[in-house]
Amino acid sequence: MHQPMPMSQTVAARLNPVQGARPVVVRPKRGVDSAMNFVAVRMLTGDRSKYLGLIFAIAFSTFLIAQQVSIFVGLLNRMRSQIIDVTDGDIWVMDPATQYVDEVYALRDDALYRVRGVPGIRWAEPLFKGQPVARALNGRFRAAILMGLDDSSLAGAPHRMILGSAENLRQPDAVIIDLAGYHFLFPGQPPRLGDVLEMNDRRAKIVGISDASAPFTSFPVLYTRYSLAVNYIGQQRTQMSFVLAQAQPGTSVAALTKRVQEATGLRAVSRDQFGWMTIGYYMAHTGIPVNFGLTVAIGLIVGTVVAGQTFYIFTIENLKQFGALKAIGTTNVRIVGMILLQALLVGAIGYSIGMGMTAAFFAYFVRQEATRGIVLLWQVMAASGGVVLFIVAVASLMSIRRVLQLEPAIVFRG
């Protein structure tokens, strides 16, 4: 007696009526996606010249943008280096017309006592800043940044010392010099104490070598007592550049600065505010932001145009392959996913190479005294990654639009 076929065999026979043929196996969605991704990668790497061209364009843009932005940020920090290194005081008091740290108008001596009389001030000490010419006994000389500290408290003295200590400034004719300045004035000589400088025909003995932050200019940074600093510059009617003050515990610095301004008529700002004032002045009155901005813009434009055009040409040359995929039933969504995978793969490889080049650049130059303190920040790396995503998105959009308009019948044309 004839036995009926099981339901599963009946369905298989209907789907595959050829006698002896294997039953049709419906692949799971994950397997189809993996196959399509493999096809997308093979299409991308099939044309080596365009594939490498895409990677190079993104790597070059990543390197140029990350390197220039990092140098720009490093220069901004150098503009306020003397402010950053003075960690003793909360408040800087100065002439009301002062705009940045490198150009000051000296205060009268009574300004110090007026600041000390403001309620909420824990202590206030004078701070001198000048620019003498320092000359070594070997004949080398250079303009220097000279910081004069209060004779008794030494408020504002450097805390990062390589040789000696701030207390050595209490010795006669004592100065502390930064390491880069020492190397310039005493080339080829290992750092040591006891060397002598001359400023304004007066003797200055090096009693300490500090690890001062790199200044905006390449001048040596010197520290000495206030009474010595005014003699190294030359006597003038007024000498005091700033009043450095500390708030009493529990006193708001913001409220105290307003109180000082109202009581004295001078400008009083916090250390951070003074740093940003200095940065703002250089941003507004120099061509630094314009120059760096143009370089970053060029990197962005070159990356976007070259990568976008190359990726678009790559898509045009593979229209028949995309048409064949459409003809066998591949949906637009899956094809868009394939294009995005190609673009993201190229972007990830290009970004990695470009960031590796940037890291290697700073790993070498951070050891050089002229470029010390300029490093690759994680914020710059993240921002560069965002720029690469933008480049990848622009490059993908042009190709996606062309493929979505594609007719499957293109595969049957000559």
The residue ranking higher by pLDDT, 103 or 261, is 261
Q: What is the pLDDT of residues 311-357, one digit of tens each?
A: 888 877 777 777 787 777 778 888 888 888 888 899 999 999 999 99
Instruction: Report the distance separating Cα 336 and Cα 400, nearest Å.
Output: 6
Half-sphere exposure at residue 65, Cβ-oriented, CA atoms within 13 angstroms: 28
Model confidence at 217, pLDDT cuts 50, 70, 90, reads confident
Instruction: Report the distance separating Cα 344 and Cα 164, nearest Å.
Output: 54
What value does the mean pLDDT of the chain take? 85
Residues listed for the chain: 414
Instruction: Report the distance separating Cα 173 and Cα 207, nearest Å.
Output: 9
Instruction: Report the distance separating Cα 60 and Cα 62, nearest Å.
Output: 5
Model confidence at 29, pLDDT cuts 50, 70, 90, reads low
Q: What is the pLDDT of residues 289-302, one digit of tens each?
A: 898 999 889 888 88
Q: What is the pLDDT of residues 114-136, one digit of tens each?
A: 999 999 999 999 999 999 999 99
Sign of the CA dihedral with 137 first, then 138, 142, and 146 last = negative
Mean pLDDT on 182-187? 94
Identity at 243, one-letter amino acid code = V
Mean pLDDT on 245-261? 93
Q: Provide the pLDDT for residue 249.
A: 92
Identity at 185, one-letter amino acid code = L
Q: Cα 296 vs. chain centroid, distance in angstroms?
A: 13
Q: What is the pLDDT of residues 235-252, one digit of tens each?
A: 666 789 999 999 999 999
Token readout for 369 is: 């005294």
Instruction: Report the distance separating Cα 304 and Cα 309, nearest Å.
Output: 8
Report angle CA 80, 146, 203 to the nearest 5 degrees: 165
Instruction: Report the distance separating Cα 309 and Cα 13, nearest Å.
Output: 50
Model confidence at 13, pLDDT cuts 50, 70, 90, reads very low
**In the predicted structure, residue 14 carries a pLDDT above the cut 60:** no
Instruction: Report the distance separating Cα 219 and Cα 243, nearest Å.
Output: 24
Model confidence at 396, pLDDT cuts 50, 70, 90, reads confident
